A and B are shown apart, each in its own frame.
Chain A
Amino acid sequence: MALGTADDDTHRSPMSARRGGPLSRRGFLGGVGAAGAGIGVAAAVAATHAEAHGTGSSDVAARIDFHGEHQAGIGTASQDRLAFAAFDLTTKDAAAVRQLLHDWTAAAAAMTAGALVPGSSHDPVAPPADTGEAVGLPPSGLTVTVGFGPTLFDDRFGLASRRPAALNELPPLPGDELAEQRSGGDIAIQACSNDPQVAFHVIRNLARIASGTAVMRWSQLGFGRTSSTSDAQSTPRNLFGFKDGTRNIHGEERSAMDEHVWVSGGDQPWMEGGTYLVARRIRMLIESWDRDFLADQQEIFGRFKTSGAPLTGHDEFEDPDYAATSPDGRPVIADTSHIRLASPENNGGLRILRRGFSYTDGMDPTGLLDAGLFFICFTRDPQTFVTLQRRLGAHDALNEYIKHTGSGLWACPSGLLDSGGTWADHLFA
């Protein structure tokens, strides 16, 4: 076979167990994705959720449908690992942007299905189109979610008229210590998977495909989910050792998703069924936190550390009683506690879908652990996040132990219904 290399991605090799379709990284992919194809979008979305939930989020065999009414990776049960990147366009040519989004869509769809990045990966004299580190790995519940930042709609590409009115740079917020090199970006890619290598493979390959058109502005790996976004998941602990987000919106809650997450009736048709992604890199001052006494840690959160129950209860899922007072007359759940300030009850019913990940980037220059929460939330209106963060940033007792060091807002368009569409359609069609 050494002689017969004059073909494209369809070359026979140990890697191509199947023929007549995209090369799968493993041979066992068969009917899983096809199940919903002829049944309609709603059914396909439901099947996606059922797969992810039924098998549990740590299941590496899970294959999430790339296509659907909404983008995957939002209402999907949170996977365990994150690879996130923000890109800046370096081209001045709108056609190049369009081509990039087209190529990215094809690559994202293939990788989500557990297949190689399209193109030749077997020509001995050419660099392989797929970088290869995910060969042999199953789909691992991978989702690839795209978002468009406010800067994409400036005067470079003639997209000003496509900018949703709600998509503005986040205003300065109390407690901000944002680093320019960890904030913003024309386009964001969120890759979530139950295998960190599968997630990283996405960012690496999309960055490579972008070569000459866009550059990575910053990126962040998350090593463990901090949110439960499904009835089937338990609440994980953050790096403070607490269960936070017990009362998060779950993907199964259709009406809550419609009410708080999915855009409808907005000013841009391409955002119908889309949402806004807010990312905040929240550095935790781990060493200081670890020296704080238990009762104070619990008062800061408003929850018991071990059980996760509110300080007014015994069970994690019990509703907090914000009116309860202790014998000395003070509220049991302190006015400055995290759960009180963040709760829908105390914020006019505002809710967001939190989908963050713990991160560490080793040490800072002074030798302290550089670790914390890479906060991600999805909301139908970025103003909701601003309102919540204004409160938290000004009053939260937790502020003594955290710094917001990076930030970004992106508009995540609706999902692509079938393989005919690309992410470019949202902006250029």
Chain B
Amino acid sequence: MPSHRLAMTVGLLAAAPLVLTACGDSGQKAGPADATDVTIQITDDGCAPDPASAAAGPITFTVKNVDSGRVTEAEVMKDGKIIGEKENLTPGLSGTFTLRLDAGDYTVMCPNAKTDRSPFTVTGRAAAGAADAGLTDAVRAYQDYLSEQSASLTAATTTFATAVRTGDLEKARSLYARTRTYYERIEPVAETFGDLDPMIDARVNDVADTAEWTGFHRIEKALWQDGDLAGMGTYADKLLTDVTDLERRIGTLQLAPEQIANGAVGLMDEVAKSKITGEEDRYSHTDLWDFAANVAGAREIVDVLSPTLRERDTALLTRIDSQLADVMASLASYQTKDGYQDYSAVTDASRRTMTQQVNALAESLSRVAPIVAGA
């Protein structure tokens, strides 16, 4: 079923274009490595930034309260709006936040101080792209992956559709799981095109009227349950039309890093929600193929974002890598010479273990978006 996860983040992007990263009060630096550092020491007297001006681009503000009991926060403002702040800094605490700022006049404000406003100036222009080269590369690499996978999906579906159209039951069965693999690797992206996913990938219980049911699973039922491909030619043609349309639309897609990150979460949610339950491929029991494809898609996302993650949160990347390895090791135990075992071979105890592994990985992946957001 369509996911709104990616679609929603598009709107959020527009709402918060300036914010790069945030971190807690630990004082640990979480911003981009090449950000300019500005210190704001809050005292009873005020909160003058040091230095008072900086070049456009990412700027990491470190707010420190040495001993003021009266002033416990500082805010960076533009045109009367707060664009970044650190609150509740009692004496001894400090905190940081990173903003990508364009040239202009800003104000640092600290309520309750004798002088509660100090000017802060940003000069010049941000070096184009330099600050976030890692993320720009990540987005490009992922869009390339989407193009490859969707092109492969069209090619594989062409062969599969021919087998279905010509009534070659055995061949169509042997191609089914492999063909879906290309779709399952990029499923959350396909789901952003609200109309395509239901036409390509709906299960029978997803549609209001079974007469309107089309796509892979409609053909899966004919292949395994009915054992008869009569009348399936139309469905094969439509499936090919829809995946071709998907390939075309993916070519026009512009994704933000946090959308890509959330796509990995979406892939793992897919596994937990419908693959591990065995609902996805209920006639063919090829769920493990889809499971593996979802994991491969998530691994690609982790790969493209890993240079940025390594820079901004090594611990998280290490955790994700190790959790991904756990999931892949579980999957590998079901691998056969040319694919995966029938899903009924997986015991309830193993399903539970894999669910736990997938959920742990998904929980960690859900921390990636705020780290790569907004750049």
Q: Is A211 a contact partner of B364 (Cβ separation < 8 A)?
A: yes
User: B-side binding surface: helix, strand, loop or mixed?
Assistant: mixed
A363 interfacial by beta-carbon distance below 8 Å: no
B81 interfacial by beta-carbon distance below 8 Å: yes
A125 interfacial by beta-carbon distance below 8 Å: yes
Q: Is B88 a contact partner of A125 (Cβ separation < 8 A)?
A: no
Q: Is A8 a contact partner of B25 (Cβ separation < 8 A)?
A: yes
B9 interfacial by beta-carbon distance below 8 Å: yes
User: A-side binding surface: helix, strand, loop or mixed?
Assistant: loop
Whole-angstrom CA separation of A8 from B96 in the bound complex: 10
Q: Is B84 a contact partner of A4 (Cβ separation < 8 A)?
A: yes
Whole-angstrom CA separation of A55 from B97 in the bound complex: 45
Whole-angstrom CA separation of A215 from B352 in the bound complex: 10
A291 interfacial by beta-carbon distance below 8 Å: no
> Interface readout for B76-102 with A: 1 if CB under 8 Å, 0 if not?
000001111111101000010111000
Q: Is A5 a contact partner of B19 (Cβ separation < 8 A)?
A: yes
Residues on B with beta carbons closer than 8 Å to the beta carbon of A1: 82
B314 interfacial by beta-carbon distance below 8 Å: no
Residues on A with beta carbons closer than 8 Å to the beta carbon of B258: 125
Q: Is B374 a contact partner of A7 (Cβ separation < 8 A)?
A: no
- B153 → A minimal CB distance (Å): 29
Q: How large is the interface on A (under 10, 10 to 19, 20 to 34, 35 or more residues)?
A: 20 to 34
Whole-angstrom CA separation of A215 from B354 in the bound complex: 12
Residues on B with beta carbons closer than 8 Å to the beta carbon of A12: 87
**Chain B residue at smallest Cβ distance from A211:** B363
- A182 → B minimal CB distance (Å): 14
Q: Is A211 a contact partner of B360 (Cβ separation < 8 A)?
A: yes
Residues on A with beta carbons closer than 8 Å to the beta carbon of B82: 1, 3-4
Q: Is A212 a contact partner of B323 (Cβ separation < 8 A)?
A: yes
**CB within 8 Å of A: which of B202-231?**
none
CB contact under 8 A between A125 and B81, given known A8-B25, A212-B364: no
- How many chain B residues touch A (CB < 8 A): the figure is 41
CB contact under 8 A between A123 and B88, given known A5-B22, A6-B22: no
Q: Is A5 a contact partner of B72 (Cβ separation < 8 A)?
A: no
- B4 → A minimal CB distance (Å): 14
- A19 → B minimal CB distance (Å): 7
**CB within 8 Å of A: which of B341-375?**
356, 359-360, 363-364, 366-367, 369-370, 373-374
**Chain B residue at smallest Cβ distance from A22:** B88
CB contact under 8 A between A10 and B16, given known A3-B82, A125-B374, A126-B370: no
B21 interfacial by beta-carbon distance below 8 Å: yes
CB contact under 8 A between A125 and B359, given known A6-B85, A212-B319, A212-B364: no
- B319 → A minimal CB distance (Å): 6
> Interface readout for A38-69 with B: 1 if CB under 8 Å, 0 if not?
00000000000000000000000000000000
B75 interfacial by beta-carbon distance below 8 Å: yes
Whole-angstrom CA separation of A5 from B16 in the bound complex: 8
Whole-angstrom CA separation of A5 from B99 in the bound complex: 10
Where the two chains meet, the residues of A that have a C-beta atom closer than 8 Å to any C-beta of B are: 1-8, 10-12, 19-20, 90, 119-120, 123-127, 208, 211-212, 215
Q: 10 extra interchain contacts, Cβ-Cβ under 8 A, other than A3-B16, A7-B97, A212-B364?
A: A1-B82, A6-B20, A6-B21, A8-B25, A20-B90, A119-B24, A125-B9, A127-B366, A212-B363, A215-B356
Closest 5 CB pairs of A and B: A126-B370, A4-B82, A211-B363, A6-B97, A10-B87
A sample of 19 cross-chain residue pairs with beta-carbon separation below 8 angstroms, ordered by A number, consists of: A3-B16, A3-B18, A3-B81, A4-B85, A5-B16, A6-B22, A7-B84, A7-B95, A8-B23, A10-B87, A10-B88, A19-B87, A20-B88, A20-B90, A125-B369, A126-B370, A127-B366, A211-B364, A212-B323
Where the two chains meet, the residues of B that have a C-beta atom closer than 8 Å to any C-beta of A are: 9, 12, 15-16, 18-25, 72, 75, 81-88, 90, 95, 97-99, 258, 319, 323, 356, 359-360, 363-364, 366-367, 369-370, 373-374
